[in-house]
Structures are given as C-alpha cells and as structure tokens.
Copies of this chain bind each other. A is one copy, B any other.
Amino acid sequence: MIEKLLLKLRARDAVAPEEEEALLGAMGEVEDIPARKTVVKRGETLNRSMLLVEGLMCRFKDLRSGRRQITALHVAGDFLDLHGFTLKHLDHDVMSLAPCRIALFPHDRLTRITEERPHLTRLLWFSTNLDAAIHREWELSLGQRTGPSKAAHLLCELYTRLQIVGLIGEGRFDLPMNQTEFGECLGLTVVHTNRVLRELRERGLAHFRNGKVRIYDMERLRAFAEFDPTYLYLAALAR
C-alpha cells in the first residue's frame, strides 16, 4: 500500500526498515474514491491526512468569477494534505480527477511519529517542502512562461514524477484529466490550451489527448520547456 510512497522517499533519502514499519503502523483505513469527487473542502477541520495510493488528484482554489486555479497535482505515492497535519484545515479543496485509492493517516499517529522518530519526522517535513518547491516552479510557469512552454514544462514534470514511482512506459503515460483541467493547472482557458497542445504536437514534441500523454522527443521537449529537474530534489538525479 505504501510502496510508491517509499519509492518516492527513497529517491531522496534513506528510509530505515523500522521507519517503514512506523509508517505502516500509522496508516489507517483505505478508501476508494470515484472520479471528480471532492475529498476535502477548504476550511473543514482535519484529523487525518491522506496518502494517494493510486490515481490522480488535484488541489485547487477558485475566484467568484468561477475561474479556478489548480495549485497542485498529485500522483500515486504523494500525500495529498500532509500539510493539513500542522495547519489543521486547508485553504483549498482537494479533488480526485480519476478514480483513486487513498490511505488515511490519523493525526494522533503522526503526532506520535514527531515524538518518537525525529528522522522520519524530517522526512515527512521534507515531503511538504517538496510540494512547496513544486508550487514555486508553478509560480514561475504561471507568471513568466508562455503557454506552450508552460504546457511542455508540466508534461516534463509529470513524466519525472511518474517515473520515480514506476508509472512511465515507453515515452507514454496516463494523465486522466481533460484539457479544461490541464489548462486550469496552467492558468489558460480550454480553447487556448487546445491550441497550445496542438503547437506541441506540430512541433513534434508531445501529444496529450483523452487522458493519454505521448512524448515524441524528450530531449527537445525539455529544451523547449527549459526543464531543470533540480527543483524535484532527486538525490540521485535519475532521468
């Protein structure tokens, strides 16, 4: 159940067998969630955090105009709201994009980890700091990159993150969301997102449609996106 979490953590630091045990011991119920279901609403009091075991989830904030910004995407092995452990409630919603499986980690058990396992605590803390690093890269994309470059960059990021947890095959991966949602990650409307994706396709870089991504030329895609995976803090920079 926590294999992908361990793959993710071990791509950054050593996890001792007894820490692995402690994580397993902190895990509670497992739930299956249908696609497009909100699992946490902003402001609601939290007493557990969720690990995404399988599927794709997002976090988002919206304006009264109806415009919505997806602030984070989460793949298998990611905690969805570990930050909720110290924040106690969230400033955003958390929603599934595809059918998902999640595992719950009661906060009292996480508190015990902070009391008994300083190194594991720092690992979990690291994990929320990694989320923040990704937020910063998205700020850079949202504020400064052009449409095509943002889109290419996001595809590179997802490729790298999915590769760590073994979900990439032959330059392809599943991205079970539609172009509206993809655009909501990039701060673009669907119409423009569609045009931007067409450009990536016509340039022979990548293809995204119907929840499937096909990378045509990773080297050129990375160059085009100015993608530097340093911000993903991979200890052994696996490409």
Contacts and interface: CB of A to CB of B under 8 A. Distances in A.
Interface of A: 42-43, 59, 61-65, 67-69, 71-72, 83, 85-87, 91-92, 111, 114-115, 118, 121-123, 125-126, 128-133, 135-140, 142-145, 186-187, 226, 230-231, 233
B67 A136 contact: no
Contact of A63 (B43, B67, B144): B144
Contacts of A145: 63
A91 B136 contact: yes
A69 B132 contact: no
29 contacts: A42-B230, A43-B230, A61-B136, A61-B137, A61-B140, A62-B140, A63-B226, A69-B139, A69-B143, A72-B136, A83-B132, A86-B126, A87-B126, A91-B133, A91-B137, A92-B136, A111-B122, A114-B118, A121-B121, A125-B125, A125-B128, A129-B132, A131-B132, A135-B136, A135-B139, A139-B142, A142-B142, A143-B186, A144-B187
Nearest to A92: B136
B86 A122 contact: yes
Central interface residue in A72, A115, A122, A139, by most chain B CB within 10 Å: A139
Task: Decide if the interface of chain A is mainly helix, strand, loop or mixed.
Answer: helix
Central interface residue in A83, A122, A123, A125, by most chain B CB within 10 Å: A125
Task: Please give me the 3 A-B residue pairs with the lowest Cβ-Cβ distance, nearest first.
Answer: A143-B187, A142-B142, A135-B135
Contacts of A92: 136
Contacts of A123: 86
Task: State the oligomeric state as a number of copies.
Answer: 2
Nearest to A87: B129
Central interface residue in A65, A144, A230, by most chain B CB within 10 Å: A144
Given A115-B118, A121-B114, A230-B43, A140 B86 contact: no
Contact of A129 (B59, B71, B86, B140): B86
Given A63-B226, A91-B231, A122-B114, A136 B71 contact: yes
Given A83-B133, A135-B139, 11 more contacts: A63-B144, A69-B140, A69-B144, A71-B140, A87-B129, A87-B133, A111-B118, A132-B132, A132-B135, A142-B142, A142-B143
